[in-house]
Structure 1
């Protein structure tokens, strides 16, 4: 082990489930786990400087390296106790409660110090002094650059988790740290671990493209790859025949990687359903004997969490994620990894009637496990950064939501009241037809401690706009929440012009509000403010890339702005999110035609026919055929003639579906590889136009005459011999068409074309007769 690795391990960077409990430092941590943060002397030395960087920096610089290490370890104790109390459990002792309630800590408002851009930390956050102190120590008490940056990265993640809203300020801090970290040297599995943690923080901020980069780097270092495959198996208890099921196939390259040791983990609650099996029973399971090391498990989990953000939440979404969870649950997991996997499964199963009861029992099991004393908190807290484990109040709120879905309104309400989740309290009281009760409770809370959030919620409960005004003034005109609720009030009343003003102010303060961008975009579409709509939907789709309707609306705004290329790209993203919506494919096809993206016209048209069976758009087909036949340059500057065969295949499919559609046959004839085939298709086109009553429409007559003109020219070409049966068939087609048209009164409007076709018919007749003369001779 290198000096760097030893240093990082000593300061709990790489301490994992395989670390020996006899390790000297680990043993000391266990023994002094809570007592260190209750050390009055450390606090008395730090508190005078803690909130003033200009005094804190010189204080740390004046210390020796060994003294700085002592303070750094104190910072570690602060963060791990904070994580234990607010994330993994169990609760800290009563002694810790009493210690941090002492007037000694009342001199600093740590909650206010942790608020960001006027957004407070969650009301359920315990011991905020621990998080703030850790952040300050890791930032200014320099031990080793990588060590300081790594722990700063972790505290940004923890800080974001305890905030009510996503913070642009913290995202900027993460970006700045990321740039600094990129300049440092780190290799092997240690680098892979950090890459996973970096990916997880960007997952938290829903910055998918950055998360993907770090996750791919980690997988490359670890030598892990995976793909979803179709395998035969049984899903239900009464299924006799094996059917195709999705299975995750994992390939590991590093055989020397340490494997996770078995430890006490939350129970995996069995699915007690009359029909469905607990997990799919595969006929051949290639993963049956596989042992996946701990870091590789974390990489798979991070991939799942990225999928949860980036993919549309439809039935396929559940089917794609489940094989990852099923495989991970067969492994020896750490406590935090197992709990995270099970909580994800709870979310996926909470809306399915066959799995919602298991979801409830599983969530209760995890809530109970958080309260247990075993395993030791050290084996829980250090994995939180690589698993993105949520705070305990979010786990309890998840349990309340499942109860609400099951109709357990009172039980759900009790949890929401305990967690002070007033928005959810309003929902519960509304269901119970007691909305006035919600208003009373919020007013009581306002009397105790008036906050911006409570004023906003009172406005929601009473539909009183003045409450939002008070919240805005209280925040000194800096609260994104106040403007969001204010805008939502007008949005719900369809007063779109007014709501846009407030939404604009809200996102200018905090641009990481996905739902505000979504409502802002919709309102802008309604009032035909296309530029604002495009901006709003573009920002929304960066945060929520799995919403096909948003991509579709973004494309609509771009089309109205005459930005067809951007609209095309937006629609490509839309079909990724909803592959089975023919209307989105139709939009893509039309826009592709507008920008001459011929290959996407073909792809989109085939997909529409797959979904809808029948669909005819002659205008789009005409653009495609014209481009291909004239070898026009496509969207990317490539000659369209390369798509000739694919265009023929598409027209062949369309004419098979629409055998009586004259225009389709006419276009198909244009693509024919030889004269004979072209002539036959033109004859089919004439028959297509010559439907019942066709001759009464001058436009139809003109189209038939035009095809007759082309057909006659083909018959007179050298490739078609006088003895060919085809020329006689053409003669009959021309004669029949001309005879019918002459009976109408369109001769004046069609006289020129009619005369030309008659002249050509005479030549065709002469050519036919020449065959008879040659035969007699």
Structure 2
């Protein structure tokens, strides 16, 4: 490896190490910089980033980027921020190319290291202010130019921060909350992109940093951005292509790597890829990346049950779900201490931040934070100690892998009380670690707070934990460089997002006043309006938003919030105006308003525009499909619901709508496939099963139809059944039986084919199933005349004529009632049932030789004909009379 290339690659390695676990062995001291004027500058900037002094790193590197550019003399009072940053990009590219435009040699290596250091410093400064804390002293601009006087640094209404927020919101989403140093993340992306534009293949880490920047941008927006998703996929794939295999990592850095450091890099790359997929709801892709990360860091996770105690006063041990972590690369005490300690006795700091729970919190809660496990199956509480099989020291990257798996479990599980208990073993596993990095421990506490806040017995402890966590982030200890470790390897919420959760927890505890202060400080107007509505003070919310609009009249978020508070579409239109038609939220609000006015065409068009800006809004495609359906645009409705299930494959309602649309369009087979997916996620919806049964019958799938009918009965407590559908099924089965009988009569028994036997067996199975369904309805007392008629036909098909006659008699009695002898339709049904009853009586008599059934039939017909004189001219009356004549002949002959 050439010396100059070694310097640049060492710079890449040192910068990545700032955000990854420290090597277990002491790294070699930094190599002296190349003998170039920019060599000391690069070395100084790198050292400042490693020390966590990001402002010093920027102050050291940025002036050299802008040296000789037109920005040094620009008038920032009148300059456009967009133009200035475009000039910054040009200046960075010009600086990288040097005077001769060369992309090789010592000069280029030093220039590239300077740009990399500045970009990483800007990104980590942003994360320090908005993710890890503590808040530092940074200028509002990531670049220092003499023309920026002190007035710019103290101007609270500076157009530059507003421009940065609008620039990030240009992707169709808005910045969610109040963030600091937004220009820094734009500046960092600009510098990394300038290196990438040179297509310099010897700077692999740029794709990794760009992936991190894209995820940072996504994390500060109020909703998922389809544009950012595309960026993340491109950068993530490049990152994994470079750092997804240990051989590639080892060959890239060679002897610069410490022991086991290569596998740590591979694991970190897969972890960050898995978190990115988790953020966008791609559960399967996330699982694959997390599995690769666990394999790379040498850990295998499994859950098991061990007897233990969950509460302080528990007497008998109960089975507790615990995590068993088997490692091929265990963290021995000496190695772990070397990995997790650093300057200024940070090992002590790590132990200090082990938990955000004050000791007095346990006075209010008798639930243990981690279960005490019984040894050797002994259920005595005096014997309970941590189990050696579950208490194992994990490396930092292994701890991050455990937390990532915990997040995956939360996303793949249904949202109910059990999902929290499924996450608990992962949380408790990290809680039991003696040492962890700041962000790892903080995320573990966040997950515990989210879980315990859902339970009444631990809610107060969760509130105390949240208060302490917010305070810990603002403290000066641990130092900045230690807080940056693993900051991208765990899905740590931003400080505004964390404080928002704190506000929501305060609301759930009834502390509206404190929540109001939190949301005001974060400028979360929607949450503020919600609080005011809870307290019946919507007018105060409107007044506050109007006051803010006097300060920032071009903020589309404020106009949208004002529209929400007042239900006035004009405010949404104003939001569109000030955002240059780039506010997806305003378009969505107008689309909903049009839908509520039954203006489905306008709603459909507005949803199209909103989704063109941001196609990843979770409920957008579903709402678009509903509007298109109401507008009778079935083709677009199917496409919209199909996109909805692509984003969220577990959206059972969308699958149901797809299936119903296929039913309407006569595509029964496609409808069956869609219903198969719908019932996976809406198993308790009898409406979905009812539609499923209809299309299953349309496709001649009798067994599936009957299974659906059976499920409907169970879900509705035997109150929902479709007699017409059951009639069609029974008719089909009767036709099949007739066909099979004719086939067997045409062939000798010995020559009957195997297929005929199989058909007979399947037909009998289906008859048994429909019989079970009919019996279930009859026993529940919910049967009517149609069900008794079907029940009689089933008994007849099984050869049980006596039961058939009893069912027919109950059908006849069900049809008797007011209006029978005066309404043609009722009489027709009654006459048909009576005729079937008498024919069965005749058949029983011919079989048994008994006259009792004939006499019963004769008496029934005489009574019916006597009362049906109004219908004496109908075919039904004539059929009953003919049957009576036949009966008299049979009785006379008996």
Superposed pair shares fold, TM > 0.5:
yes
Q: Residue 513 of structure 1 aligns to a residue in which SS?
A: coil
Match among 506, 520, 533 for residue 417 of structure 1? 520
Instruction: Note the alpha carbon deviations across 1:662-694, whole angstroms, 9 max, x for none.
Output: 34535655885xx5xx55764564455354666
1:665 aligns with 2:791: yes
Residue matched to 1:76: 120
Report if the CA contact (8 A) 2:645-2:654 is conserved.
Answer: yes
Which protein shows a greater Rg? 2
Instruction: Note the alpha carbon deviations across 1:61-95, whole angstroms, 9 max, x for none.
Output: 53546322343234333322321221111112x36
Report if the CA contact (8 A) 1:121-1:163 is conserved.
Answer: yes
Report if the CA contact (8 A) 1:712-1:730 is conserved.
Answer: no
1:32 aligns with 2:51: yes
Report if the CA contact (8 A) 1:705-1:757 is conserved.
Answer: no
1:86 aligns with 2:86: no
Moved more, 686-695 or 298-307: 686-695
1:313 aligns with 2:415: yes
Shift of 1:461: 3.7
Shift of 1:412: 1.0
Residue matched to 1:384: 487
1:652 aligns with 2:772: yes
Residue matched to 2:876: 749
Shift of 1:321: 4.0
Report if the CA contact (8 A) 2:560-2:586 is conserved.
Answer: yes
Residue matched to 1:396: 499
Shift of 1:743: 4.3
Report if the CA contact (8 A) 1:416-1:422 is conserved.
Answer: yes
Shift of 1:521: 4.6
- 1:731 and 1:248 mapped to 2: Cα distance? 75
Structure 2 CA distance for partners of 1:339 and 1:251, relative to 1, 3 Å: closer
- 2:118 and 2:214 mapped to 1: Cα distance? 18
Residue matched to 2:543: 440
Q: Residue 247 of structure 1 aligns to a residue in which SS?
A: strand
Report if the CA contact (8 A) 1:349-1:356 is conserved.
Answer: yes
- 1:234 and 1:754 mapped to 2: Cα distance? 81
1:255 aligns with 2:259: no
Structure 2 CA distance for partners of 1:729 and 1:197, relative to 1, 3 Å: farther
Instruction: Note the alpha carbon deviations across 1:133-164, whole angstroms, 9 max, x for none.
Output: 33233334246464222222111111111234
- 2:875 and 2:657 mapped to 1: Cα distance? 49
Residue matched to 1:203: 278
TM-score normalised to structure 1 length:
0.79
Matches within 5 A, 1:491-530: 498-524=602-628, 530=634
- 2:304 and 2:880 mapped to 1: Cα distance? 61
Shift of 1:416: 1.1
Shift of 1:322: 4.2
TM-score normalised to structure 2 length:
0.69
1:153 aligns with 2:214: no
1:468 aligns with 2:511: no
Structure 2 CA distance for partners of 1:665 and 1:181, relative to 1, 3 Å: farther
Instruction: Note the alpha carbon deviations across 1:500-527, whole angstroms, 9 max, x for none.
Output: 4433322222222224445445555666
Match among 122, 125, 133 for residue 187 of structure 2? 133
Residue matched to 2:582: 478
Shift of 1:626: 6.3
Match among 356, 359, 367 for residue 462 of structure 2? 359
- 1:33 and 1:181 mapped to 2: Cα distance? 25
1:289 aligns with 2:390: yes
- 2:728 and 2:428 mapped to 1: Cα distance? 49
Matches within 5 A, 1:327-338: 327-331=429-433, 333-338=436-441
Residue matched to 1:453: 557
Structure 2 CA distance for partners of 1:490 and 1:646, relative to 1, 3 Å: same
Structure 2 CA distance for partners of 1:587 and 1:77, relative to 1, 3 Å: same
Shift of 1:483: 1.9
Match among 46, 63, 67 for residue 44 of structure 1? 63
Instruction: Note the alpha carbon deviations across 1:10-35, whole angstroms, 9 max, x for none.
Output: 44269644634843579956763215
Structure 2 CA distance for partners of 1:566 and 1:66, relative to 1, 3 Å: same
Shift of 1:482: 2.9
Shift of 1:397: 1.0
Structure 2 CA distance for partners of 1:447 and 1:143, relative to 1, 3 Å: farther
Instruction: Note the alpha carbon deviations across 1:338-371, whole angstroms, 9 max, x for none.
Output: 3223323433444554343233222212212212
Residue matched to 1:723: none
- 2:241 and 2:705 mapped to 1: Cα distance? 45
- 2:292 and 2:699 mapped to 1: Cα distance? 36
Instruction: Note the alpha carbon deviations across 1:259-292, whole angstroms, 9 max, x for none.
Output: 7767434525467667766566777699962536
Moved more, 304-313 or 641-650: 641-650
- 2:362 and 2:594 mapped to 1: Cα distance? 45
Report if the CA contact (8 A) 2:356-2:469 is conserved.
Answer: no
- 1:175 and 1:182 mapped to 2: Cα distance? 10
Shift of 1:452: 2.2
Report if the CA contact (8 A) 1:236-1:275 is conserved.
Answer: yes
Matches within 5 A, 1:149-228: 149-181=207-239, 183-184=241-242, 186-187=244-245, 189=263, 190-215=265-290, 217-218=292-293
Structure 2 CA distance for partners of 1:218 and 1:33, relative to 1, 3 Å: closer
Match among 20, 23, 27 for residue 19 of structure 1? 23
Shift of 1:40: 3.0
| Structure 1: tracts of 5 or more residues without a match | 633-637, 717-726, 770-777
Q: Residue 12 of structure 1 aligns to a residue in which SS?
A: helix
Moved more, 196-205 or 219-228: 219-228
Shift of 1:639: 8.8
Report if the CA contact (8 A) 1:86-1:125 is conserved.
Answer: yes
Structure 2 CA distance for partners of 1:235 and 1:669, relative to 1, 3 Å: farther
- 2:426 and 2:889 mapped to 1: Cα distance? 74
CA RMSD of aligned residues (A): 4.9
Report if the CA contact (8 A) 1:514-1:543 is conserved.
Answer: yes
Structure 2 CA distance for partners of 1:116 and 1:334, relative to 1, 3 Å: same
Shift of 1:170: 1.0
- 1:5 and 1:627 mapped to 2: Cα distance? 75
Match among 383, 390, 403 for residue 301 of structure 1? 403
Residue matched to 2:96: 60
Shift of 1:336: 2.2
Matches within 5 A, 1:498-647: 498-524=602-628, 530-544=634-648, 548-598=652-702, 600-615=704-719, 616-622=721-727, 630=736, 645=765
| Structure 2: tracts of 5 or more residues without a match | 1-5, 31-45, 72-84, 153-158, 247-262, 341-349, 378-385, 740-757, 821-826, 869-873
Report if the CA contact (8 A) 1:713-1:760 is conserved.
Answer: no
- 1:330 and 1:589 mapped to 2: Cα distance? 52
Residue matched to 1:689: 811
Report if the CA contact (8 A) 1:705-1:754 is conserved.
Answer: no
- 2:399 and 2:845 mapped to 1: Cα distance? 71
Residue matched to 1:775: none
Q: Residue 386 of structure 1 aligns to a residue in which SS?
A: coil
- 1:587 and 1:227 mapped to 2: Cα distance? 40
Matches within 5 A, 1:107-118: 110-111=164-165, 113-117=167-171
Q: Residue 51 of structure 1 aligns to a residue in which SS?
A: helix
- 2:313 and 2:697 mapped to 1: Cα distance? 50
